[in-house]
Amino acid sequence: MNVSYRWLLGMVPGLDLKPEQLAEHLALRGAPVEEISSPGAELGDIVIGKVLEAGQHPNADRLSLCRVDGGEGEVQVVCGAPNVKAGSWYPFAPTGAVLPGKFKIKKSKIRGEISEGMLCSARELGLGTEHDGILEIEGDFTAGESFVAAVGLDDATLDVEITANRGDLLSHVGVARELASEGEGRVQLPVIEGDPGVELSFERGAPEVRLGDVAIRIEDEDLCTRYLGAVIRGVRIAPSPAWLQERLRGAGARPINNVVDATNYVMLELGQPLHAFDLNGLVGTSIVVRRVSPG
Amino acid sequence: MTDQDPIAALRALESDALAAVEQAGDADGLEAVRITYLGRKEGRISALLRGLGGMPAEDRPAAGQEANRVKAAVTEALEAREGALLGPESAGGEDLTLPSRGPWTGGLHPITQAVDEIWHIFRDLGFTRARGPEADTEWYNFEALNTPLDHPAADEQDTLYLVDSVLLRSHTSPVQMRTMETHEPPIRIIAPGWVYRRDTYDATHTPAFMQVEGLVIDEGITFVDFKATLAEFARRYWGPDTQTRFRPSFFPFTEPSAEVDVKRVITRADGSKEETDWLEIMGAGMVDPAVIENAGYDSERYTGFAFGMGPARIAKLKHGVDDLRTFFDNDVRFLEQFAR
């Protein structure tokens, strides 16, 4: 179980332990920490850079020639991304910076123009698969400030080994409770704000329940006593907000999109596994809960 | 070359050469004979061999064979004569006054030594030694030890099965059950032995390794007996200043379970003392009542504790060995450092 140190601190206000001390406490509670890592470990050289000007490269159609403020004066940078625009903030690797994979940025000449540094995509930073353009960062920053701190990658991820008798520790709330039970602060459970405007209805002992166009059936009731489902309409698939992405990365998960991230977030927070189906793919079919058939 | 039959010429050369070898009176004379007949450039036999190339093809094999025979015979005679001339009494480089080599004695393998040291400490604490088969059944390896076959610990991926429900034991704990079945409490046993798992052979894993199992069953055995016994073992093994720490853990066959760490005090060359980090040395716990019942004992009457440790890991810590595989490479230069 990967635990985000920052997420845990948010749940146990007053917890005054560094990640290493926390690991020691957990080990003595029967949940040893195998490794402490940081999602931003390899990105220490990356700063927040502002593109001041973005113009056409004189000798290449697909390249831009940019003036970038990386905190140490303006430099000229050649950029191949289609989405670079003046006035925006991007992760910037100045000359001498080392990217994941031991890739060192050198001052170079690209198609006859000097380039001193690189504006980075999510993939180049090991933060995702997105490589269609550079990673634009929303917000207000100071040129040259640490990228890792600015986007919340300065978290610590604790790889906690959880034994078979401690399923209750398989969530951030569970680990927070364990620490609090030792007198280390009090657990503040997440507050679910607002009324979701959903009416829940329960059917007990029914052989099959219909949820709109989808049927739900439990065949092995000895293993599954309750199945909950809900239909959410009007969903637009998009990237998750930055705070959610930060938490997932801190807990060793990779952000995908708002729907997948929401299910993973709830599972990591509360320990409740859940899955989002595309309703279009389920119409006219059934969700059946049973043991796997042989073969 | 003359028209003379090459085979006859070879035989004549052979007898000349053998006679010359016999007449040679010292090493220099013998070397002169060797050069005369077998010398690479001017040697008479060598010259004759080179001449074979000009012979009719049908005669060549027979002549070649004969030439090689003669060459071998002369070489052998040269070596024999050399041996006779130099003789054992001549200064041949050997010092005959040296004492003979002593018999080459073996030594105990470092892991065997660790097993013995562990066993001797527990023997002094009143334990006896027990053993069980390395090929055992699912019942003894898993089910009797409160581990259902669908438990992750009983995963077939990690266990080496021989045939249906018979496997190479994945730990020495089956000896607990086998001993309880054949003995009446009180039980105090130490059971070292080989165990097998489907692990990749690397610096910290070997698919076959030694384990030392311990079991105590009697009326009134408590966690205090458990802690005190293992703390005493640690002090006897690692030194009187050794501290022990019991961390909660989980094993299906003990409840509660613990992992046992030691912190040693080492004395440096300048006499100052230094504490090591906590080192994990074994898994242990109070025997689960289900296991005691499986053995046919009354779990209301009998309680106990059990533990298991890896002597290879302990030997590794003791000798500062980084790579477990060096224990199994059978390199005598490594192993003889531990022989005693």
| pLDDT tens digits, one per residue of A95-129 | 999 988 888 999 988 888 899 999 998 888 888 77
**pLDDT band for position B1 (cuts 50, 70, 90):** very low
More confident residue, A132 or B207: B207
pLDDT in tens, B200-230: 888 888 899 999 999 999 999 999 999 999 9
**pLDDT band for position B54 (cuts 50, 70, 90):** confident
**pLDDT(A47) > 60:** yes
Torsion-angle region of residue B9: left (phi > 0), alpha (psi -120 to 50) or beta? alpha
Give me the percent of chain A exceeding a pLDDT of 70: 99
SS (H, E, C) chain A: CEEEHHHHHHHCCCCCCCHHHHHHHHHHCCCCEEEEECCCCCCCCCEEEEEEEEEECCCCCCCEEEEEECCCCEEEEEECCCCCCCCCEEEEECCCCEECCCEECCCEEECCEEECCEECCCCCCCCCCCCCCCCCECCCCCCCCEHHHHCCCCCCEEEECCCCCCHHHCCHHHHHHHHHHCCCCCCCCCCCCCCCCCCCCCCCCCCCEEECCEEEEECCCCCCCCCCCCCCCCCCCCCCCHHHHHHHHHCCCCCCCHHHHHHHHHHHHHCCCCCCCCHHHHCCCEEEECCCCCC
**pLDDT(B86) > 80:** no
φ and ψ of B145, to 5 deg: -95, 30
pLDDT in tens, A210-245: 888 889 999 998 988 888 888 888 999 998 998 899
3-state SS, residue B94: coil
Asked if omega into A241 is within 30° of 0 (cis), the reply is no
Q: What is the pTM of this model?
A: 0.70
Total count of residues recorded for chain B: 340
How far does the CA of residue B254 sit from the closest CA of chain A (Å)? 12
pLDDT (0 to 100) of residue B89: 53
More confident residue, A196 or A71: A71
Give me the percent of chain B exceeding a pLDDT of 70: 96
Query: Cβ–Cβ of B248/A29 closer than 8 Å?
Result: yes
- Nearest chain A residue to B247 by CA: give it: A28
Residue A30 near chain B (CB below 8 Å)? yes
pLDDT in tens, A243-260: 899 999 999 998 889 999
Mutation pick from A24, A25, A28 vs chain B, by most beta carbons of B within 10 Å, is A28
Query: Cβ–Cβ of A32/B252 closer than 8 Å?
Result: no
For residue A165, which residues of chain B lie inside 8 Å, CB to CB? 250
- Per-residue pLDDT, averaged over A176-197, amounts to 80
- Nearest chain B residue to A163 by CA: give it: B250
For residue B253, which residues of chain A lie inside 8 Å, CB to CB? none
Query: Cβ–Cβ of B250/A163 closer than 8 Å?
Result: yes
For residue B250, which residues of chain A lie inside 8 Å, CB to CB? 30, 163-166
pLDDT (0 to 100) of residue B203: 84
**pLDDT(B85) > 80:** no
How far does the CA of residue B174 sit from the closest CA of chain A (Å)? 21
- Average pLDDT across chain A, whole number: 88
**pLDDT(B94) > 60:** yes
How far does the CA of residue A251 sit from the closest CA of chain B (Å)? 23
**pLDDT(B55) > 80:** no
For residue A32, which residues of chain B lie inside 8 Å, CB to CB? 247
**pLDDT band for position B287 (cuts 50, 70, 90):** very high
How far does the CA of residue B235 sit from the closest CA of chain A (Å)? 21
Query: Cβ–Cβ of A164/B247 closer than 8 Å?
Result: no
For residue A28, which residues of chain B lie inside 8 Å, CB to CB? 247-248
Which residue has 């390199």 as its token pair? B331
Which residue among A27, A164, A165 sits closest to B247, beta carbon to beta carbon? Answer: A27
Query: Cβ–Cβ of A30/B252 closer than 8 Å?
Result: no
pLDDT (0 to 100) of residue B269: 85
- Burial of B107: CB neighbours in 10 Å, binned 0-12, 13-18, 19+: middle
pLDDT (0 to 100) of residue B172: 94
pLDDT in tens, B241-281: 999 999 999 999 999 999 999 998 888 888 888 888 898 89
Query: Cβ–Cβ of B250/A27 closer than 8 Å?
Result: no
More confident residue, B225 or B22: B225
Q: Which of A26-30, B116-120, B171-175, B213-217 has the lowest mean pLDDT?
A: A26-30
- Average pLDDT across chain B, whole number: 88
- Burial of B134: CB neighbours in 10 Å, binned 0-12, 13-18, 19+: middle
More confident residue, B88 or A131: A131
* Interacting residues of B289 by C-beta distance below 8 A, sequence separation 6+: B255, B299
How far does the CA of residue A23 sit from the closest CA of chain B (Å)? 13
pLDDT (0 to 100) of residue B9: 81
How far does the CA of residue B246 sit from the closest CA of chain A (Å)? 8
Query: Cβ–Cβ of A30/B249 closer than 8 Å?
Result: yes
Cβ(A197)–Cβ(A19) under 8 Å?
no
**pLDDT(B125) > 90:** yes
Task: State how far the alpha carbon of A105 is from the alpha carbons of A46, A92, A161, A253, B308, in Å.
Answer: 11, 11, 38, 28, 52
